[in-house]
Amino acid sequence: LSFTGMVQKLDQKLPVANEYLLLSGGVREGVVDIDLDELNVYARGTDYDMDFTLLVPALKLHDRNQPVTLDMRHSALCHSWLSLRLFDEGTISKWKDCCTIVDHINGATNYFFSPTKVADWFYDSISIVLSEIQKKPQRGMPKVEKVEKNGTIISIILGVGSSRMLYDIVPVVSFKGWPAVAQSWLMENHFWDGKITEEEVISGFYLVPACSYKGKKDNEWRLSFARSEVQLKKCISSSLMQAYQACKAIIIKLLSRPKAISPYHLRSMMLWACDRLPASYLAQEDYAAHFLLGLIDDLQHCLVNKMCPNYFIPQCNMLEHLSEETVMLHARKLSSVRSDPAEHLRTAIEHVKAANRLTLELQRRGSTTSIPSPQSDGGDINQPDDRLAKKLQQLVTENPGKSISVFINPDDVTRPHFRIDDKFF
């Protein structure tokens, strides 16, 4: 992760005191609400062993106490343009080259922060930093296996010891507080009331570089509530989370073509189900099978009605753009799952087992053919790297529903440190 600190040093564009949100699972896993056509397909086991999403704030707006009002006049619901007028002159001059420029009749010029231009700048900067690292390899530094730009996402696969870690890096705009457009959602009753505080839920939100289906790609950002979703997970029972993971494994394989349903849709439906169903029912420890069938039924209902409201902005229907043919095709596929869910689940589990076997086989081969590097003293240099990879995975898996952030000091990129909720490591 230290190379993101090096990116900051290149041209000082990124905020100096930056906090990156680290999420377990890649963008393809539906960890954030980004559904890009340009995403290359990577397979666990074949291409990588662990996957993460890293949200990197290019801009931060953290000095506001009132609800944040965004410029939504030009965009679809759940989306916004971002004018740099909200920021100081120094920020505007620093980021001018990553903006689209609109001249008004009165002679004023407005700079709109462009998700596509920011992603281009970020990819170029990361490429420069990684090529420098590869020219002067240092002991303990991960090996760069792949760097690709997938639309506005930068995907990096790093070899860390005998593990391959996929990072989907997302340049975002980070806000403290809550958007005015989602203010009415706070007035409703929710399943998390009394379990966590409102302050935890509305501590911040993001704009992610994703456009609506009819929007202008160069200007339009999507609102993301990833930080809030991490908090809400704390309030979901383990048996419901188990059912969600099982359902996700089934739909990732079954409903991948044509691209219509993502695990993010499923997660939104699960949150709605938590609001709708009695807490005593959802708390049943041995009801995972019931919950799985319920999630399949809810997804079927959403498809047939072509309606899946965004959990935080319910007036936004996330399936509105789909054709009747696509929704009916997926509804028919889901009917086959509903008629024999156990068989489909077994198939999904077999896919996971096969991926794990492939990972172990590649790691075994790697350990038998590894040659000590010129900088090493002949010892097993993979050991400390492997520990780092496993420690990172452990941090994420042992802290479900907790907000894991990464802080990096660009003046000392050798030592990132983690914050899990309010504790530092």
Is residue 101 domain-resident?
yes
CA atoms of 222 and 304, how far apart (whole Å): 26
Is residue 204 domain-resident?
yes
Is residue 79 domain-resident?
yes
- Do 249 and 112 share a domain, yes or no? no
What single DSSP character describes residue 17? Answer: S
- Do 174 and 53 share a domain, yes or no? yes
What single DSSP character describes residue 354? Answer: H
260-298, pLDDT tens digit by residue? 788 899 999 999 999 999 999 999 988 888 888 899 899
For residue 258, cis peptide bond before it (omega within 30 degrees of 0):
yes
- DSSP-derived 3-state class of residue 153: strand
- Do 335 and 194 share a domain, yes or no? no
What is the Cα gyration radius of the chain? 22
Is residue 269 domain-resident?
yes
- Do 173 and 281 share a domain, yes or no? no
- Do 207 and 243 share a domain, yes or no? no
Count up the domains in the chain and report the number. Answer: 2
What single DSSP character describes residue 151? Answer: T
Name the H helices within 277-340. Answer: 279-282, 288-305, 324-339
- Do 320 and 281 share a domain, yes or no? yes
- Do 222 and 250 share a domain, yes or no? no
- The pLDDT value recorded for residue 395 is 54
Q: Across the strands, what pairs with 407? A: 19, 417
- Do 222 and 284 share a domain, yes or no? no
Is residue 348 domain-resident?
no
Amino acid at 294: G
Tokens matching residue 24? 């377990």
What single DSSP character describes residue 215? Answer: S
Is residue 377 domain-resident?
no
CB 117 within 8 A of CB 101: no
Is residue 61 domain-resident?
yes
Is residue 24 domain-resident?
yes
| Residue ranges making up the domain that contains 302 | 236-339
- Do 104 and 209 share a domain, yes or no? yes
For residue 115, cis peptide bond before it (omega within 30 degrees of 0):
no
| Domain of residue 190, CATH code | 3.30.460.90
| Termini Cα distance of the chain | 15
- Do 193 and 243 share a domain, yes or no? no
Q: Which residues of the chain have pLDDT under 70?
A: 1-2, 38, 63-66, 105, 107, 138-140, 256-258, 351-352, 355-356, 359, 362-425
- The pLDDT value recorded for residue 66 is 63
CA atoms of 192 and 79, how far apart (whole Å): 26
DSSP letters spanning 278-296? -HHHHT-TT-HHHHHHHHH
- Do 25 and 153 share a domain, yes or no? yes
CB 226 within 8 A of CB 32: yes
- Do 31 and 111 share a domain, yes or no? yes
